[in-house]
Amino acid sequence: MGCWCSKNPTPSNPVPDEETTILGKPLEHINKFYSLGKKLDVCDLAATYMCKQFSTGKTYACKSIRKRLLSSQEEKEVVKTEIEIMNRLIGEPNIVQIKGCYEDRSFVHIVMDLCTGGDLFDRIGKLVNDQSYYSEKDASQIVRSIMNAVQSCHSKGVIHRDIKPDNFVLSSNNEDATFKAIGFESSVCIKEGEFVEGLGGSDFYTAPEALQGSYGKEIDIWSAGVILYVLLSGEFPFKSVYEITTGQFDLYSDPWPSISLSAKRLIQMMLTSDPMKRISAAKVLGLKAEDKPIDNAILSRMKKFRAVNKINKLALKVIAESISEKEIKSLKSMFASMDTDKSGTITYEELKIGLNRLGSKLSETEVKELMEVADVDGNGTLEYLEFIPAMMHIERRNMAREDHLYKAFQYFDVDNSGYITMDGLERAMKEHGMGDETSAKQIMSEVDTDNDGRINYDEFCAMMKNGTMQPQG
């Protein structure tokens, strides 16, 4: 599930009552200082727009969070913490910089740097296209930028908690553009030696200790290690929660014999299951990489990984924009209906019966796995704040809602022919600033499995349900 803010924010009249605010200061119109423009992105409870500052004419990004969806004090504190953390990280070169925050009756607005150079995979595509090769040193430079951001966070007492390719974007399209970390919605402040309780990480980038619900800053290193593995192989090291918890991954079969020993050793140090034995960000930054070209077979796999990741991400944006505010609120009533004994928590049996009643196709094993992942405090039950992320996790990973899938397919099917053509794909990608004709051709070649030059609905569904998993080489 994505975000539920599908319209431009409309500021309302300010009122001077500080007690009614989230940020603890008088309400203020953002349109006194900025004009909001094109929508750039959607995410949980918010939408991001391009904005222009009246006083300087400079362009920034504005993340607008809809206040009425922040129904608990905990959710409001998350917004305050996000802003506090971004202010704490001002001046760090690999962190997106906050420019200001404003609150009106309907929204909290966070103004920050506008990064226009695409994400991590866009950089890889540019390297391959411009240089006709991609080396371990290229992968190392990308990971170095990530680790600089991680080190900046850790040195300021911050755990990012959601290190993944989507959360690293290039400041511009220039060759010397800097990678910037974004996505601080899940970040937390922590003192040295302390541990955090709660969910941390995204799907395949989640560290094993985060699945158990108590962890420290080392989870960011693990997630960066997963990214390095992907950058060198074009596939994930772990394909399930079970594999993450066991910490076993392959460094022997293709393509790993062609990868340098030093790169494989670094992956092992970053993906060490025991967080206390995991390498630190500072030590990773002290290492040097070999300028060894990546094998063409790996390049082909990386191109496929990038293509499937891109269209999957774009389709999720379309689906997110179609999800109504009513649907997110329905999750709260769903919790109440499953909590049959009105204890304020949901047991495994209540979850299994409740999901079955809702028509879920999850097997008993999958329900148990979901329960184990969501039960972050390990007490055998799900509290409300554990239940909501778990349900959103199901929506994201399984894409069970057929109407959402079909709506996304229709978005790409511009001529209502029942197929996604190259023209439709190119239009959608350009509209969302997610690629060019070359990217569209690569996506078409990977998703069009019957090679008829277009993508039918079955091919689209297969990509959506499997594309975030593991593109096969």
Map tokens 């959607």 to a residue. Answer: 42
Map tokens 């990064």 to a residue. Answer: 115
Map tokens 């953390």 to a residue. Answer: 85
Backbone angles phi, psi at 165, to 5 degrees: -55, -40
- Cβ contacts of 21-27, under 8 Å, gap ≥ 24: 21/103, 22/67, 22/70, 22/76, 22/79, 22/80, 22/103, 22/108, 23/80, 23/83, 23/101, 23/103, 23/108, 25/103, 27/103, 27/104, 27/105
CA 345 – CA 364 distance, rounded (Å): 20
Backbone angles phi, psi at 470, to 5 degrees: -155, 95
Task: For residue 93, say if its preceding peptide bond is cis, omega within 30 degrees of 0.
Answer: no
The DSSP symbol for 286 reads T
Indicate if 162 belongs to the active site: yes
Cα Rg, the chain, nearest whole Å: 22
Map tokens 């990973």 to a residue. Answer: 397
- Out of 162, 375, 413, 448, the active site residue is 162
- Tokens (6 digits) for 262: 């030093």
User: Please, are residues 82 and 69 in contact by the beta-carbon 8 Å criterion?
Assistant: no
CA 307 – CA 448 distance, rounded (Å): 12
Provide the H-helix boundaries in 323-363. 325-338, 348-357
- Tokens (6 digits) for 154: 């850790």
Helix (H, G, I), strand (E, B) or coil at 17: coil
Residues 6+ apart with CB under 8 A from 15: 26, 27, 105
- Cβ contacts of 235-244, under 8 Å, gap ≥ 24: 235/301, 235/305, 235/470, 235/471, 235/473, 236/204, 236/469, 236/470, 237/267, 237/271, 238/204, 239/204, 239/469, 239/470, 241/211, 241/369, 241/372, 241/373, 242/369, 244/204, 244/206, 244/207, 244/208, 244/211
Catalytic residues: 162
